[in-house]
Copies of this chain bind each other. A is one copy, B any other.
């Protein structure tokens, strides 16, 4: 019998599959952006425009590191929208979504036995590629001001030497927290003192109102690798993300990406044109307004029906709710009651609470949010 590596299914993928076959169920499981905010018509127009302009060239092999057209536009976008100054040439690498970027970085930076600290809980899909590379993942407490950098410092003082610290400091997945400027500063000081690298996973920044400055932009010691994506602002099915990092690692990342060679050329051209035309920038005010409206309704509904049991969502799509019973086992009953969530036990690193559920407002309609919370509450009543 042939030996091969075994992996686990993502809890998000499992819940998404279930959600797909359901109708009339309020979907708190999806991490996709709101479909009503995807500019379908404009993308069709741009695709035709790009194909007519580039001809067969729009369908040829992409080449390493991303098309120059797209790299140029993403640099502008980073500076204009994300407030991140991209240094010299070659410091921005196009990848097939932030997920792909994190996987490649894991391959490049992590070897068996390397210690990685993450927020606890953290995003399962980002952590799993690091585990696959043999990383020892340890969780550090997180609260509404983000990663508890004092708890991290305590571990460092006790002799722990991480290779990497992976964080989602702005609109944390699955908690919705925002890391405070003070803690950001502290984390950067620790990185410099103890010589570890930080991966800043930051896809929600463009839909956050006045977020604190990114770690990347505060970084003076070259400790931060920045990962972002067009998934939350244009469409996740395009699979376009980007990584901003030192030129030296960027070159290795581009070479490693050649093993996948996975980012479709016409889509790179499409996104470049969408950025150049101002389509993305013009969408942002509406995206922010709608997501914040939904967050507000979710918070009010949870405060009414589950007071004290949810993480204090400040931006992004997610909160983590403790439902008081095994969230894996309860899922079937919740679906029967017309609501679906992602069981979130596997998002936790150290102690894994059975009753955690990730609740997302991304695709659900504003007027369905409270109804979803009520259905979930009802489903939990003893029969």
Interface centre among A5, A64, A128, A260 (most CB of B within 10 A): A260
| Chain B residues, CB < 8 A from A60 | 32, 35, 235-237
Interface centre among A2, A16, A38 (most CB of B within 10 A): A2
Within 8 Å of chain B (Cβ to Cβ): is A122?
A: no
* Contacts of A247-300 to chain B: CB distance below 8 A: 249, 252, 255-256, 258-267
| Chain B residues, CB < 8 A from A374 | none
Selected from B38, B249, B261, the residue in CB contact (under 8 A) with A4 is B249
Within 8 Å of chain B (Cβ to Cβ): is A109?
A: yes
Chain A interface residue count, CB cutoff 8 Å, equals: 69
* Contacts of A166-191 to chain B: CB distance below 8 A: none
| Chain B residues, CB < 8 A from A260 | 96, 99-100, 103, 260, 262
Cα A63 to Cα B97 in complex, Å, equals 13
Number of copies: 2
Selected from B2, B128, B256, the residue in CB contact (under 8 A) with A7 is B256
Contact A61 B32 (CB under 8 A): yes
Given contacts A2-B249, A235-B59, A264-B237, contact A10 B258 (CB under 8 A): yes
| Chain B residues, CB < 8 A from A195 | 2
Q: Looking across the interface, which residue of chain B has its beta carbon closest to that of A20?
A: B63
Contact A4 B56 (CB under 8 A): no
Within 8 Å of chain B (Cβ to Cβ): is A40?
A: yes
Contact B35 A57 (CB under 8 A): yes
Interface centre among A8, A59, A252, A265 (most CB of B within 10 A): A59
Contact A252 B63 (CB under 8 A): no
Within 8 Å of chain B (Cβ to Cβ): is A381?
A: no
Interface centre among A20, A63, A103, A266 (most CB of B within 10 A): A266
Within 8 Å of chain B (Cβ to Cβ): is A44?
A: yes
Contact B56 A235 (CB under 8 A): yes
Contact B239 A263 (CB under 8 A): yes
Cα A239 to Cα B267 in complex, Å, equals 10
| Chain B residues, CB < 8 A from A6 | 252
Within 8 Å of chain B (Cβ to Cβ): is A62?
A: yes
Which of A47-55, A308-316, A345-353 contacts the other chain?
Answer: A47-55
Within 8 Å of chain B (Cβ to Cβ): is A36?
A: yes
Cα A171 to Cα B143 in complex, Å, equals 58
Given contacts A63-B13, A259-B99, A267-B267, contact A58 B237 (CB under 8 A): yes
Cα A85 to Cα B358 in complex, Å, equals 42
Within 8 Å of chain B (Cβ to Cβ): is A228?
A: no
Given contacts A40-B51, A56-B40, contact A255 B197 (CB under 8 A): no
Within 8 Å of chain B (Cβ to Cβ): is A238?
A: yes
Q: Looking across the interface, which residue of chain B has its beta carbon closest to that of A55?
A: B40
Task: Give per-residue flags for A95-127: 1 if the beta carbon is below 8 A from chain B beta carbons, else 0.
Answer: 011011001001111000000000000000100
Selected from B31, B107, B237, the residue in CB contact (under 8 A) with A265 is B237
Q: Can you report 10 A-B residue pairs in the complex whose CB atoms are below 8 A from each other?
A: A5-B252, A8-B255, A38-B59, A43-B266, A44-B48, A60-B237, A107-B132, A237-B264, A237-B266, A239-B264
User: When A and B form their complex, which 3 residue pairs have the shortest distance between CB atoms, in order from nearest?
Assistant: A237-B265, A96-B262, A35-B56
Give A residues with C-beta under 8 Å from B: 2, 4-10, 13, 16-17, 20, 31-32, 35-36, 38, 40, 43-44, 47-48, 51-52, 55-64, 96-97, 99-100, 103, 106-109, 125, 128-129, 132, 195, 197, 231, 235-239, 249, 252, 255-256, 258-267
